[in-house]
Amino acid sequence: MDHPSKHPTITLTFPSAILDNALRRALEEREIGGLLAPELRPALLSRSEVAQTLRVSMRSLDRLRESGQFIEPLYLGAYPRWRRSDVETWIAEASTQRDEG
């Protein structure tokens, strides 16, 4: 015999975009050692995601680009995007140069 729960079950439905963003944020917050498993990370990063990855403001990112110190983006229409692998390579190279200098 089924016993009714003391607490009612509530089912909420959200548009998929909201769920996608919430899931992505949750996955980013669960980073271990600063890296998610590669299959869980997006391949292309937006300007704000690159700035967040570098821990700089978007204006600082723009200055790095303008001075030629950072890699140029790919454009999807009018939207700049960076390959995650290129950003990670740039970080590794910048760290090596800083350690050697």
| Phi, psi dihedrals of residue 81, rounded to the nearest 5° | -140, 145
Q: Note the CATH number of domain 42-101.
A: 1.10.1660.10
What is the reported pTM? 0.58
* Residue carrying structure tokens 């009714």: 4
What is the crossing angle of helices 58-66 and 47-54, to 10°? 90
Domain boundaries, the chain: 42-101
pLDDT digits (tens, 9 = 90+) for 24-81: 555 555 544 455 555 656 789 999 999 999 999 999 999 999 999 999 999 989 999 9
Whether pLDDT at 86 is above 50: yes
How is residue 97 written in tokens?
């140069």
Residue type, 54: L
- Give the Cβ contact number of residue 44 at 10 Å: 16
